[in-house]
Amino acid sequence: MSEAGARPTLEAVAARAGVSRATVSRVVNGEAGVREVLAVKVRRAVDELGYVPNRAARSLVTRRYDAVAVVIAEPETRVFADPFFALQLRGISKELTAHDVQLVLLLTEGRADHARVGRYLSGGHVDGALVFSLHLDDPLPVIINGAGVPTVFGGRPGWAGGEDSVRYVDCDNRGGARSAVRHLAGLGRTRIAHITGALDQTSAADRLDGFRDVLPGADARLVAEGDFTPAGGERAMRRLLDRCPDVDAVFAANDLSAAGALRVLRASGRRVPDDVAVVGFDDMLPVAEQADPPLTTVRQDIEEMGRLMAAMLLRGQDRSPAPDHAASVVLPTELVRRDSA
Amino acid sequence: MSEAGARPTLEAVAARAGVSRATVSRVVNGEAGVREVLAVKVRRAVDELGYVPNRAARSLVTRRYDAVAVVIAEPETRVFADPFFALQLRGISKELTAHDVQLVLLLTEGRADHARVGRYLSGGHVDGALVFSLHLDDPLPVIINGAGVPTVFGGRPGWAGGEDSVRYVDCDNRGGARSAVRHLAGLGRTRIAHITGALDQTSAADRLDGFRDVLPGADARLVAEGDFTPAGGERAMRRLLDRCPDVDAVFAANDLSAAGALRVLRASGRRVPDDVAVVGFDDMLPVAEQADPPLTTVRQDIEEMGRLMAAMLLRGQDRSPAPDHAASVVLPTELVRRDSA
DNA sequence: TTGAAAGCGCTAACAG
DNA sequence: CTGTTAGCGCTTTCAA
């Protein structure tokens, strides 16, 4: 390990091993074509000195940064109310770590930060970006596209024409919603309501579409707009109860709003699932399992989505000649039955 | 903005502005002592060319990285179950952004990752580290101390002798716990129980100490060990009810476990706060406000703690001669009354 | 298979 | 106040 302070350079290692800097560089970078005797000497010197390559120097010549930016744009609320991003981050982190790539986190709040992010990305400090762009009208995608950095989006981006020119990872929101609603219908429920998510996000819009796929002629009053939060779920449920006291099932756009709905149903004296069956979306364990009653819900593998995003970005960077435009990925969902429906 | 691809260098800007590289450098870095006429020319050239400094080149000579690592070591669970870290991250991010410093996120899972983190930190890629080391026996602090990187811890570190040699930001866990318990006592409750957090974390230990400060002679059966999770809170509450059916108040170590306790109390037919008063800790809004009934709790300003950690680290980096060993900071807490007590 | 030498883009003395 | 000149530590031709 040697003393702190002056960290050893390639030069020092070369001197100690009795070879040239070039040779040390080759060994350190695992290039073939170095006699094993020398390689051994070099590795020993590296260990003895506690040599760690200087990334700045390396980047300067290679123009690679071994770092990717994770951009999370979320005006205030959601990021911190539900563990969604945390899980996604974990998946990303695992994959990046496995490739020895650093994760630079860029949190933005409002437009003011957009310019900063754009500058950072186009400034050439990272090899790519993983972006969570949740709102239909978000200007960030455009800025990022302009930055000329390889990018993978988390969730289908909502901007027009985006889908084919852009790589993203998402779950099958629409199909998942369909399976939830079909499940409720299969239970014999006939007044099935939907609490939407924030409809300026594609995931919410897609889930609503899925609901409509199964129930094309549904009473419009059976759809109440929520915002993915428990409070929003409560409000929506109250509205629903007001308008249609005879609802016998609710498909909520996520577990958090389902939890809110559950509370309102209980307060109204209704029993779940006897009087009203409830299905959520996400299978956010701490929420779904702890709900009262435990929530039947549509599971998506959030951590895996994160891992995939990172893998996709990294793969694209192999400089593989044909970018193999590994199109976007849409993961399947799975209905998890518990007690609420 | 000019075309992507070949990004302009200092040299290009200098040529365009008709000055030397040194002058451009001075203007870009805001150093005084450049005639305004020239400065204007330079700034214009910068804009026209869309020049962004190459960080790698800059770091190579300045030995500063304008980046700090945020290390979150949490075996699996907690990070993702509660918004604690997310809030802290937001505070950190805001402060770093304001100083144009990047946030490199290092998530670790288990011992295997410790070495990696140590290597990264001592590798000289960041100017400092913000570390969340939550467990008493965590080897990470030692590794990090060995890395010779300025560090600020989130939460009082638990290792022996740590307190004076280490900088940290924490809230007044013990005092907050005292105020919670005093509040319950003030309500006339006489059988006050405590659901602890994970006792290998100083925050949990400190809150337990606070409980004992107020109730030194408390029946040992009134203390049940939890783990900061809702499920842990449920288990603890059940144990409590078993052992002492006459409990009339509960101080839970955080809002999440209070929520679990609430559920068990309700299931047991007890009314809150009439039969049993409940106080939490954190004032995690989505949890505390949405609880049924809304939770009386001890608020700590988590985001501010994050901001402070970053500020403290950055300040220490001013190369101020006397490190001003801006000792650690312990933020006050505040009891927030809602309906549960 | 190895070494010598030339930079990558920038800052920081040091002159002028 | 401004320009010239050395490198920072590393990779990468190019010769040997």
What is the distance, to the nearest Å, from the Cα of residue A125 to the centroid of all Cα atoms in its chain?
22
What are the tens digits of pLDDT across the range A233-251? 999 999 999 999 999 999 9
Check whether residue A177 and residue A295 sit in a common domain: yes
**3-class SS of residue A21:** helix
On chain B, the residues whose CB falls within 8 A of the CB of A87 are 80
The C-alpha atoms of residue B309 and residue B13 are separated, in whole angstroms, by: 38
Q: Which nucleotide is nearest to A62 (CA to C1')?
A: D11
Q: Which nucleotide is nearest to B36 (CA to C1')?
A: D1
Check whether residue A139 and residue A111 sit in a common domain: yes
The count of other CB atoms within 10 Å of the CB of residue B193 is 30
What percent of chain A shows pLDDT beyond 90?
A: 68
Give buried/exposed letters for A199-209 (b at 16+ CB in 10 A, else e): bebbbbbbbbe
Check whether residue A214 and residue A149 sit in a common domain: no
pLDDT per position in chain B (341 positions), as tens?
334 457 899 999 999 999 999 999 999 999 888 899 999 999 999 999 989 999 999 999 999 999 999 998 875 555 556 678 888 999 999 999 999 899 999 998 877 788 888 888 887 789 999 998 767 777 887 888 777 889 999 998 877 665 567 899 999 999 999 999 999 999 999 999 999 999 999 999 999 999 999 999 999 999 999 999 888 999 999 999 999 999 999 999 999 999 999 999 999 999 999 999 999 999 988 788 878 899 999 999 999 999 999 999 998 765 443 444 557 899 999 999 999 99
On chain A, the residues whose CB falls within 8 A of the CB of B127 are none
Quick check: is A178 in a domain? yes
Backbone angles phi, psi at B48, to 5 degrees: -60, -40
The C-alpha atoms of residue A248 and residue A210 are separated, in whole angstroms, by: 19
Question: Of B18, B36, B62, which residue constitutes the final position of a domain?
Answer: B62
Question: Of A62, A79, A97, which residue constitutes the final position of a domain?
Answer: A62
The C-alpha atoms of residue B96 and residue B69 are separated, in whole angstroms, by: 11
Quick check: is A92 in a domain? yes
Question: Of A24, A46, A62, which residue constitutes the final position of a domain?
Answer: A62
Q: With contact defined as beta carbons under 8 Å apart, do B235 and B226 qualify? A: yes
What are the tens digits of pLDDT across the range A96-109? 999 989 999 999 88
Whether chain A has a CB inside 8 Å of the CB on B18: the answer is no
Check whether residue B58 and residue B108 sit in a common domain: no
Identity of the residue in B7, B120, B263 whose CB atom sits nearest the CB atom of A124: B7
CB neighbour list of residue A123: distance below 8 Å, 6 or more residues apart: B52, B53, B55
What token pair was written down for A196? 């939407």
On chain B, the residues whose CB falls within 8 A of the CB of A126 are none
What is the distance, to the nearest Å, from the Cα of residue B77 to the centroid of all Cα atoms in its chain?
16
Q: With contact defined as beta carbons under 8 Å apart, do A141 and A117 qualify? A: no
Check whether residue B113 and residue B163 sit in a common domain: yes
Check whether residue A73 and residue A154 sit in a common domain: yes
Query: What residues make up the domain containing A120?
Result: 67-171+303-332
What token pair was written down for B71? 């290390």
Q: Which pLDDT score, from 0 to 100, does residue A76 have? A: 54
What's the CATH code of the domain at B39? 1.10.260.40
Quick check: is A158 in a domain? yes
What are the tens digits of pLDDT across the range A20-39? 999 999 999 999 888 999 99
Q: How far is the CA of B93 from the C1' of C7 (A)?
A: 36
Of B196, B226, B233, B228, residue with least CA distance to B211: B196
Q: Which nucleotide is nearest to B35 (CA to C1')?
A: D1
Give me the sign of the Cα torsion angle A107, A111, A112, A118: positive
Q: How far lies A125's CA from each of A236, A309, A310, B185, in Å? A: 44, 19, 17, 57
On chain B, the residues whose CB falls within 8 A of the CB of A64 are none
Check whether residue B92 and residue B126 sit in a common domain: yes
pTM of the full structure: 0.90
Check whether residue B35 and residue B133 sit in a common domain: no
Residue with CA nearest D7 C1'? Answer: B61
What token pair was written down for A281? 């979306």
Nearest residue in chain B measured CA to CA from A233: B290
Please give the order of strands across the beta sheet that includes B192-195: B223-224, B192-195, B249-252, B277-282, B296-299, B334-336
Q: Which pLDDT score, from 0 to 100, does residue B161 have? A: 60
Higher pLDDT, A118 or B216: B216
Q: Choose from B52, B61, B64, B290 for mutation: most chain A CBs within 10 A.
A: B290
pLDDT at A2 over 70: no
Check whether residue A178 and residue A162 sit in a common domain: no
Quick check: is A247 in a domain? yes
The H or E element containing residue A334 is strand A334-336
Higher pLDDT, A203 or B139: A203
Residue written as token pair 């809030």: B87
Check whether residue A112 and residue A254 sit in a common domain: no
Quick check: is A164 in a domain? yes
Check whether residue B161 and residue B79 sit in a common domain: yes
What's the CATH code of the domain at A98? 3.40.50.2300
Check whether residue B199 and residue B291 sit in a common domain: yes
Number of H helices, E strands in chain A: 15, 12
Point out the least confidently predicted range of A76-90, A132-146, A297-311, B193-207. Answer: A76-90
Number of domains in chain A: 3
Quick check: is B278 in a domain? yes
Residue written as token pair 């009339």: B248
Q: How far is the CA of A14 from the C1' of D11 (A)?
A: 15
Quick check: is A83 in a domain? yes
Quick check: is B339 in a domain? no
Within residues 11-70 of protein chain B, the ones with CB less than 7 A from nucleic strand C are 11, 21-22, 25, 28-29, 51, 53-54, 57-58, 60-62
Q: Which pLDDT score, from 0 to 100, does residue B1 have? A: 38
Give buried/exposed letters for A216-249 (b at 16+ CB in 10 A, else e): eebeeebbbbbbbbbbbbbbbbbbbbeeeeebbb
Going by the DSSP 8-state scheme, the letter that residue B324 receives in this structure is T
pLDDT at A162 over 60: no
